[in-house]
Amino acid sequence: MNSESVFTYTSPELLPVLEELRRREPIFHTLAFAASPAEYERATAPEYWEVGASGRRYSRDFILRELYTTPPPLADALGWQCWDHAVRRLGPDTFLITYVLRQGDRLTRRATIWEHSPEGGACCFIKEPWLPLKRTIRLLYSFIPHTLQADERCTLLKQREN
């Protein structure tokens, strides 16, 4: 396995989990995750929190208040692109999904910890109830060496896409 594929490898038995979670990312910006503020509330674990690209931490309560006042844009409508998805099992019902997200000129490496809850109820709008526990990291350009200038990063990204 080369140094790049170690970051995008998903073991064959986790491919169904990868496909299920990939539809829900980026969370808050896909209808597969949630379509209304009430669904956002059901779709996030009570202890959910996330770290923004700036390094600032956001609580679930803060995020839900923002979602009630300003619905988030849908990723597809804005032309956002995701790639390099991978899933790793962290525990019996806990998984980490990682991927790259391009929002216009902004690139971020995303990681979300998801927990599968067999009792249901929390995500009744989703076929299988999954709850994101926390967005662990959102680092701008973290998959490209930080020593590169922004235009060099974009060139490297374009080369990777071809």
Helix (H, G, I), strand (E, B) or coil at 16: helix
Query: Could you report the per-residue pLDDT of 81-115, keeping only the tens digit for each?
Result: 999 999 999 888 788 888 988 988 888 888 888 88
CB atoms within 10 A of CB 160: 13
Domain that holds residue 65: 5-161
- Sign, Cα dihedral of 77, 65, 101, 13: negative
- Whichever domain contains 140, its CATH number is 3.10.450.50
Query: Which pLDDT does position 132 carry in this prediction?
Result: 58
Number of domains in the chain: 1
Task: Give the CA diameter of the chain.
Answer: 48
Query: Could you report the per-residue pLDDT of 36-89, keeping only the tens digit for each?
Result: 888 888 888 887 888 777 778 888 899 899 999 998 899 999 999 999 999 999
Rounded Cα distance, 36 and 22, in Å: 19
Query: Could you report the per-residue pLDDT of 122-156, keeping only the tens digit for each?
Result: 222 222 334 555 544 433 333 334 444 445 545 55
